[in-house]
Homo-oligomer: A and B are copies of this chain.
């Protein structure tokens, strides 16, 4: 790698000063059309590429948005990032991503890396960092938290209304006639807390007794919790899972125990990931507006005037997607159809 050409090389070749080249590179109107053309040609000729470091240093702007993503394996964040990217690109910003790997140390290191880069905005998606780190970040740049509702009000955040989401699930099940609705709780996190409290609230409102089991956000967690439910003998007619993966685990446990879904037990997931939509799975689930979450987050990050009046915490409404993992409880009526194959074909059966 030989030395890369600089603005001065371009200037020399084009026979102008570095100032003019700089202006051309920044689309300043203060350059004659003729000069601009010559500079552009010279730049192309020698393969000039602006040096971001020098640019950042001199201008104190990077036009980079840093996104620290808790878990790149979770497609939830990929969807969200699409939204972030779109808004950022539109406004002339680039989005760089670092993986937190579900690990506080890694996540905080990523935050530090972006702060050293002096990114113009920092997006923390599902962050697992200490309050102190968050505070330090906030002191250095604009920060928006996504997918986690925050306790305090000091940092701007965008999240789904998870209380409402859990309510939707319970209401759907109660509406179908279920009264024994169990809840599998996810690993400790703001969303898990909100979903639980939504469940509790709507169970109370419906006059039903809550049944809560500890699980986590994995297939295995859902499997273990549902198996526990089966073992206990007190099998509910419906289960709310903390996310789609856990719902799938729960379904597996139920089927392993000889129970049919939704025949014997209805199951509702959360997130509406691509998984839930697979025909084989066809999970009724609470949809999160993932892309919109990203868009709102980016807007919060980039909007010029940080009006203090503006809501600092944006909650987006979820909605329920009804597929084939839920049905009315067995009430002595006709046996519920098995949920496979596709709904269309079952419905058209004479």
Partner of A56, one of B53, B79, B96, B342: B53
Establish whether residues A341 and B248, one from each chain, have CB atoms under 8 Å apart when the complex forms: no
User: Quick one: which of A125-157 are within 8 Å of B by CB?
Assistant: 136, 139-141
Copies in the complex: 2
Establish whether residues B116 and A99, one from each chain, have CB atoms under 8 Å apart when the complex forms: no
For the complex, is A49 an interface residue (Cβ under 8 Å from B)?
Answer: yes
Task: Looking at the assembled complex, report how far the CB atom of A223 sits from the nearest CB atom of chain B, in whole angstroms.
Answer: 8
Q: Which chain B residues lie closer than 8 Å to A118 at the CB level?
A: 4, 51-53
Question: How many residues on the A side are at the interface (Cβ–Cβ under 8 A)?
Answer: 57
For the complex, is A252 an interface residue (Cβ under 8 Å from B)?
Answer: yes
**CA–CA, A98 and B99, complex, Å:** 11
User: Quick one: which of A295-350 are within 8 Å of B by CB?
Assistant: 340-342, 345
For the complex, is A177 an interface residue (Cβ under 8 Å from B)?
Answer: no
Binds B, one of A166-174, A205-213, A264-272, A273-281: A273-281
Which residue of chain B has its CB nearest to the CB of A63?
A: B113
For the complex, is A75 an interface residue (Cβ under 8 Å from B)?
Answer: yes
Establish whether residues B75 and A280, one from each chain, have CB atoms under 8 Å apart when the complex forms: no
User: Quick one: which of A72-87 are within 8 Å of B by CB?
Assistant: 72-73, 75, 77-79, 81-82, 85
Establish whether residues B72 and A219, one from each chain, have CB atoms under 8 Å apart when the complex forms: no
**CA–CA, A344 and B267, complex, Å:** 24
Establish whether residues B115 and A49, one from each chain, have CB atoms under 8 Å apart when the complex forms: yes
Determine chain A's interface SS by DSSP, over half rule: helix
Q: Which chain B residues lie closer than 8 Å to A116 at the CB level?
A: 49-52, 55
Establish whether residues B73 and A78, one from each chain, have CB atoms under 8 Å apart when the complex forms: yes
User: Quick one: which of A215-252 are within 8 Å of B by CB?
Assistant: 219, 248, 251-252
Which residue of chain B has its CB nearest to the CB of A85?
A: B99
Query: Can you list, as one digit per residue, whether each of A41-69 has a CB less than 8 Å from chain B (1) or not (0)?
Result: 00000010111111111000010000000
Partner of A98, one of B97, B252, B340: B97
Which residue of chain B has its CB nearest to the CB of A66?
A: B96
Establish whether residues A341 and B4, one from each chain, have CB atoms under 8 Å apart when the complex forms: no
Establish whether residues B75 and A101, one from each chain, have CB atoms under 8 Å apart when the complex forms: no
Q: Which chain B residues lie closer than 8 Å to A219 at the CB level?
A: 278
7 pairs across A/B with beta carbons < 8 Å?
A47-B136, A49-B116, A52-B117, A53-B53, A72-B72, A96-B98, A248-B278
A-side interface residues toward B, CB under 8 Å?
A: 1, 4, 47, 49-57, 62, 72-73, 75, 77-79, 81-82, 85, 94-99, 101, 109-110, 112-113, 115-118, 136, 139-141, 219, 248, 251-252, 255-256, 274-275, 278-281, 340-342, 345
Starting from the known contacts A52-B113, A54-B57, 17 additional A-B residue pairs (CB-CB under 8 Å) come to A1-B139, A1-B140, A49-B116, A50-B116, A51-B57, A51-B118, A53-B117, A72-B78, A72-B81, A85-B99, A94-B98, A96-B96, A97-B98, A251-B280, A252-B341, A252-B342, A256-B342
